[in-house]
Amino acid sequence: MKAGLALFLHSARRARTLVLALAALVAGFQILLAFAARSLEELNTFGRLAALVPDFLRQILGPSLLTLLSFRGIACLGYFHVAILATLVGLTIALATEPAGETESRFLDLVLSHPLARHWVITRTIALLAACIISLLGAMMLGTRVGLYWLVPADLARATFRVVPELTLNLGALLLCWGGIALAVASTARRRGVAGAVTALLATACYMTDVIAQVWRPLRPVATYSPFHYYNSLNLITGSSDVTRHALILACIAAAGFALAYLSFCRRDL
């Protein structure tokens, strides 16, 4: 346990600067979004923006478009904006592929030549993933809360903030899910770059499939295999998503990835 903790602290120290910087960035972005949402609300812009959307696009995108073009949609944009999602999933993949990097550099030869069970390498990474995801989403949630309660009238802030814990929970489950997939890949890989690239390509493919499936019905059955299918943020904002079921599905994928990582890493040649 003591040795496992030492390994965790070593990795946490290495990741800390990046995670803290990103946490500050996403928290700041959320405050900025609350400010932008308030400005648009004051100018009564949301209705005009919605009116500008062509009919065919409105038909394709359905009610989610109206959700996006609302105070709540803009204030919570950070939870589903593609840049933020890509950054968070990217960081998760980078953290989860640490065992492959340590195998590649033979740093694990040094570490595992000591009386440390192999499973600690995977346990350490899972703990690190959990800690980083909690820190990032905690910062994001804090940024949203500060932005809303500081800049927005209390009633509107309360109504908007009500959806944030559910968004955070599902986003956390999505990130953990990609962490599990990346860790499963990394536990069999000899190169971190390969593990990261494979998982990133898979994530991009899954994201694109989910996005295209939203506007092209034939792809919808395939999209159910994409983890992004279970993070429908706009439905979460309107409260029409099955939060618990989706979070559980994502958590199950994460757990399967972690289990696979334990199995393959403990059996493999390093």
Partner 1 sequence: MPVTAAPPAISIQGLTKRYGRLTAVKDLAFEVNQGEIFGFLGLNGAGKTTTIRMLLDLLRPNSGSAAVLGHDCQRDGLEVRALVGYLPGEVDFYGDMTGRDLLELLGRLQRRPVSREYRRELQERLDLPDGDLCRKLREYSTGMKRKLCLLQALQGDPPLLILDEPTEGLDPLMQESLYDLLFQLKREGRTVFMSSHVLSEVERVCERIGLIRKGELALLSSVEDLHKMARRNVRITFSADVAAQPHGLPPEYEILEVKPRAWHLRVRGALGPLISSLAGLPVLDVDVAEPRLEEVLIRYYREDNA
Chain residues in the site for partner 1 (CB under 8 A): 2-3, 6-7, 10, 14, 104-117, 267, 269-270
Taking the C-alpha atoms of residue 171 and residue 163, their distance in angstroms, rounded to an integer, is 12
Taking the complex as a whole, the smallest distance from the CB of residue 195 to partner 1 amounts, in Å, to 17
Lookup: tokens for 103 = 């195998």
DSSP 161-227: HTTHHHHHHHHHHHHHHHHHHHHHHHTT-S-HHHHHHHHHHHHHHHHHHHHHHHH-GGGHHHHTTSG
Q: Which is nearer to partner 1, 109 or 242 (CB)?
A: 109
Residue 42 or 269 with smaller CB distance to partner 1: 269
The CA distances from residue 129 to 51, 62, 132, 182, 197, in Å, are 43, 35, 5, 11, 18
Residue 199 near residue 185, CB atoms below 8 Å: yes
Q: Among residues 10 and 162, whose Cβ is nearest to partner 1?
A: 10
Which residue, 106 or 158, has its beta carbon nearer to partner 1? 106
